[in-house]
Amino acid sequence: MKVTISVIKADVGSIGGHIRPSEALLNKVKKVIADKAKGLLIDHYISYTGDDIAILCTHKRGVLDEKVHKMAYDAFLAGTEVAKKQGLYGAGQDLLKDSFSGNIKGMGPAVAEMEIEERPNEPFLFFAADKTDPGAYNLPVYLSFADPMYNAGLILAPSQEKGFRFTVMDVEYVDADRVVDINTPEEMYDLAALLRDQERFVVESVYSRKNNDQAASVSTTRLHNIAGTYTGKDDPIMLIRTQGNFPATGEILSTFTIGHYVAGFMRGSHHGPLMPVKLNSSISYFDGPPVVSCAAFCIRNGILSEAVDAFDHPYWDWVRGQVSQKAQEIRRQGFFGPAMLPFSELEYGGIVEKLKRIDKKFKVKK
């Protein structure tokens, strides 16, 4: 049976700055989706990570479906009204376009979707990150699907021995989706060369080379491309199917042990380590650190099991301690050097005016 798994997420307002949405806002989004789900969706699950609300749903309508996207858009619009009434910060923050036409891509909210031929058992993972951008997933995806140091299955499982195909997007190209397909293991160095540049090249999807089945889908929205200015960080979401011809769940999770440095954190303008957190976690220190949550599911005929919190385990408490130390270490140097993002990323923010003003005062010495 063909099933589509869609996740659409947006920040439409949060309490106390960019910490987390209110209960009233969440309940509004839940109610709108529950009302509209009939005849449209098979199942759905609504959660938050930091100040972002994600609507995960299953249906039979394929990707980029107008009705499914409009449902999410309407829920976020209704949520924005509640956020305004409650005086929440950043009400409607990610709704950057006023009128809906066709699908929600390019309007602000992040989208990750896959149409799959459902396996007799169908485990998958839903990742949601806050205070960072889509490049945050480059390293974990690379290690999960191309590196036997993390994915033992690349050596041990015949089902993975042909490797994977990565579709990588050039997110600096704004007129259309500009993508390249890279096959691993043969083109691993090409993949590494692209993915090291997290702000420009991001993994959009991954496919098994055994049978062409889609393994992963990542949201690629760069909000500053849409808004032309800094309005908030992209806060990407990702779906990954696991087991069988794909990496095991634990192999994928293992790559999040690193707490690698990503762009985001305070005002979306710094580097900070990505901390794996529990579902429905809030944000704190320096509007961060950048966080990622993971809900594990199985589906049958499109019906979702309950969500299991993949980072709710004593092991990850230890990781969180390590990541806090990494956060503290880079924060000690404030705005200097790699602690703050390079100018190419900051140019969407207020510093541009400041530098223009100072530039006029420069003199060339005779």
Q: Which residues are catalytic?
A: 11, 230, 233
Among 122, 133, 235, 251, binds ligand 13P (CB under 6 A): 235
From residue 264 to residue 283, the character string flagging contacts with ligand 13P as x (rule: CB under 6 A) and all else as - is --xxx---------------
Least Å from the CB of residue 66 to Mg ion: 26
Among 52, 115, 204, 287, binds Mg ion (CB under 5 A): 52
From residue 141 to residue 180, the character string flagging contacts with ligand 13P as x (rule: CB under 6 A) and all else as - is ----------------------------------------
241 binds, among ligand 13P, Mg ion, none (CB under 5 to 8 A by kind): none
Residue 51 as a binder of ligand 13P (CB under 6 A): the answer is yes
349 binds, among ligand 13P, Mg ion, none (CB under 5 to 8 A by kind): none
Among 11, 43, 65, 234, binds Mg ion (CB under 5 A): 11
Among 51, 65, 122, 187, binds Mg ion (CB under 5 A): 51
Least Å from the CB of residue 177 to ligand 13P: 22
* Secondary structure (H, E, C), the chain: CEEEEEEEEECCCEECCCCECCHHHHHHHHHHHHHHHCCCCCEEEEEEECCEEEEEEEECCCCCCHHHHHHHHHHHHHHHHHHHHHCCECCCCCCCCCCCCCCCCCCCCEEEEEEEECCCCEEEEEEEEECECHHHHHHHHHHHHHCCCCCCHHHHCHHHCCCEEEEEEECCCCCCCCEEEEEECCCHHHHHHHHCCCCCEEEEEEEECCCCCEEEEECCCCHHHHHCCCCCCCCCEEEEECCCCCCCHHHHHHHHHCCCEEEECHHHCEEEECEECCCCCCCCHHHCCCEEEEEEEEEECCEECCCEECCCCHHHHHHHHHHHHHHHHHHCCCCCHHHECCHHHHCCCCHHHHHHHHHHHCCCCC
Residue 18 as a binder of ligand 13P (CB under 6 A): the answer is yes
Residue 267 as a binder of Mg ion (CB under 5 A): the answer is no
Least Å from the CB of residue 246 to ligand 13P: 30
Interface ranges with Mg ion (CB under 5 A): 11, 18, 50-52, 90, 130, 232, 235
Interface ranges with ligand 13P (CB under 6 A): 11, 18, 50-51, 90, 93, 130-131, 232-233, 235, 266-268, 287
